[in-house]
Structure formats: structure tokens, C-alpha cells
Amino acid sequence: MKVAVVGATGLVGTVILQVLEEMKFPVSELIPVASEKSKGKQILFCKQPYVVVTPETAVALCPDIAIFSAGGETSRQWAKRFTEKGCFVIDNSSAWRMDNEVPLIIPEVNGHILKKEHLLISNPNCSTIQLLVAVAPLHKLFNIRKMIVSTYQSVTGTGVKAVQQLMNERKGEFCEKVYPHRIDLNCFPHGGDFLENNYTSEEMKLVHETHKILNTKQIDISATVVRIPVIGGHSESVYLEFEQNIHIETIRKALLESPGITLQEDNSNNIYPMPFYSEGKNDVFVGRLRKGLYSDNSLNMWIVADNLRKGAATNAVQIAQLLLENKYIQ
């Protein structure tokens, strides 16, 4: 299996390489890809050195799968150049997510819609992935009609420079700022760009991607994105209203039986999901389950996941595994 990782030297690209190795994905030849300025650098994969090449060189090498994590502009420029060679492209950017011809895939939620002709596949936004892994099993049971989501997002979602800003501010050192405000000892309700409706692009991604993945526009969704000074992962406070009355024990059972979810719920011992403990793990962690105070058809829950893992790299590699399991790649 010839696998290209486009953006191999970046934050998510590095984690993709780790996940490929950990999951023992059958890579016979790795093609690490980055921009011209990184051409010729060496990276280690499975203890073997590989030389970084440009996208143009990678296309000529005709990989079986290319996992992109180099931003929307790179994906728009190069993704279809790879698919024209018969390569499956799994793209982590927002470039193709809302394209009607491109499936937006979370394997545990809608992996069944993948077809052999889907050479270009999109990875959802990190916040959308962890949200839907947790709520999709409940939607099947009770039909969600309303969802209010507040996210508390790690600086790793913005990239290496954001992590450096946090650490330098913590040490009191001067640094290049990628946020409009300091992030250490602070939080701000701003992720992405502000739109005409006063929501941000990150907030509207949660709305549009949820509707596409669950194949319905009948869920009223409101989101608020908050950036917080943590590294381990994203957290989400979620309020759901269903068409039917719910039973907490049925909810717990569904979550326990759903793949990719770890239920952490032991309030007497202060056990609940936290980003500090999600870092480096592939599961989505769910806790603080409780019925709404004023209706029998509502639920509050708390969801945490490592945004570089399940929110990006792990989900992408799981899509690649799905292509193998379906025998779309021999």
C-alpha cells in the first residue's frame, strides 16, 4: 500500500504518521509530502527515514491513498490531481466538506455510505466529529429536534504557532500572536471568521456538517465556539431535545455499546471527561449525563476528545481502513 501524507511535517500530519504506525496500517511505501521549503527534509516512520517531497513529485509516484492535512488552499489545488491518477484522497481541510459530490465521513456514524467511486472523501471538522460520534446513536433512538452546543477548544486546533503563543505568554516572553487576544489565563468566544449572521465560520461548520452527515435539516442547531488555554483536546457542553421522551439508562446503554465511545460517569469520585486525560487517545469521552430540568425529552451531556486524534488524524486513518475493509483498494 503506497500512502502519501500531504502536510506530513505539520501538527496534524505528524499525528497521522503516528496513528498509521500504531494501527499497523499496511504501508509498503510512505510518501511524506510538504511545501517546497520542506522538500528534502527527513522524517522517521516505523523507524525508517523518508525524504519529504513536493505534491508534484507525489502525484507522479501514483499513491493508492493520500491523506491531506495541509489546509484548504493546498487541497483545492492538489486533491483532484491525485484522484485523476486513481488515488483515494482523504482530506482534512474544509475545502470539500459541503460539496454534494464528496462524502463527509465519520466511520462510526455514516461509513456505510462510502462507495468505490468516492475517490475524494472529506474529513469533518474536529468539533463535529466528536459531537456526532456521541449523539448519533441517540438520534437513532429518539430523533433529535434541537441541539445547543458550546465548545471549549484547545489551542492545538489552530496549530503550532497557537501552542507557542500560549506557552510564551505563560513564560512572559514576547511571541508572534495568532489570536486577537492573549490566550493564557483567558478564553474568548471566537473561532474562525465572523459571518454576516454574527455566527463564526467554526460555529456554522457544526450546523452544516451535522445536517449533511445525519442526512437531515430537521434539527435546530445553535453553536458557540470558545477558545480556551488547554492543549489536550476539545470539550463540548451539549443540550439536546428529542421528539420522544428519553430514559437515562437507555441513553447510557446506547453509549456503552457504541464504538469509539468511552463513558466516564462517576460523579461521587469526580470522574468525568477532561481534555488533560483525552490527549493522545482515540476515543470520544462522554459524561455528565442528566435529563433537562423542565422536560422529559431533553438531555445535557459533556463530550471531550483529542482534536488532533479522533478530531483529525484518527478519523482519517479509520476512513482509510474502511476503504481496505470494503476491498475498494487491493
Q: Which residue ranges form the domains of the chain, and what is each CATH number? A: 2-124+312-325 (3.40.50.720), 127-307 (3.30.360.10)
| Helices marked H in the chain | 11-22, 55-60, 72-83, 107-110, 126-142, 160-171, 201-213, 248-257, 275-278, 314-325
The predicted pLDDT at position 175 comes to: 85
Write out the chain's pLDDT in tens, 330 residues. 999 999 999 999 999 999 999 999 999 999 999 999 999 999 999 999 999 999 999 999 999 999 999 999 999 999 999 999 999 999 999 999 999 999 999 999 999 999 999 999 999 999 999 999 999 999 999 999 999 999 999 999 999 999 999 999 999 998 889 999 999 999 999 999 999 999 999 999 999 999 999 999 999 999 999 999 999 999 999 999 999 999 999 999 999 999 999 999 999 999 999 999 999 999 999 999 999 999 999 999 999 999 999 999 999 999 999 999 999 997
The predicted pLDDT at position 15 comes to: 97
Q: What pTM did the predictor assign?
A: 0.97
Rounded alpha-carbon distances, angstroms, from residue 254 to 59, 133, 262, 305: 43, 12, 11, 19
The three cell numbers of residue 300 are: 445535557
Q: Which residue has the cell 428529542?
A: 242
How would DSSP label each residue in 154-206?
Answer: -GGGT-HHHHHHHHHHHHT------SSS--TT--BS--S-B-TTS-BHHHHHH
Nearest C-alpha neighbor of 92 from the set 15, 163, 155: 15
Rounded Cα–Cα distance for residues 230 and 166 (Å)? 9
How many other CB atoms sit within 10 Å of the CB of residue 291?
16
The predicted pLDDT at position 174 comes to: 87
The predicted pLDDT at position 330 comes to: 74
Residues marked active site are found at 126, 234
Q: Tell me the helix, strand and coil percentages in the chain, rounded to 5.
A: 35, 25, 40
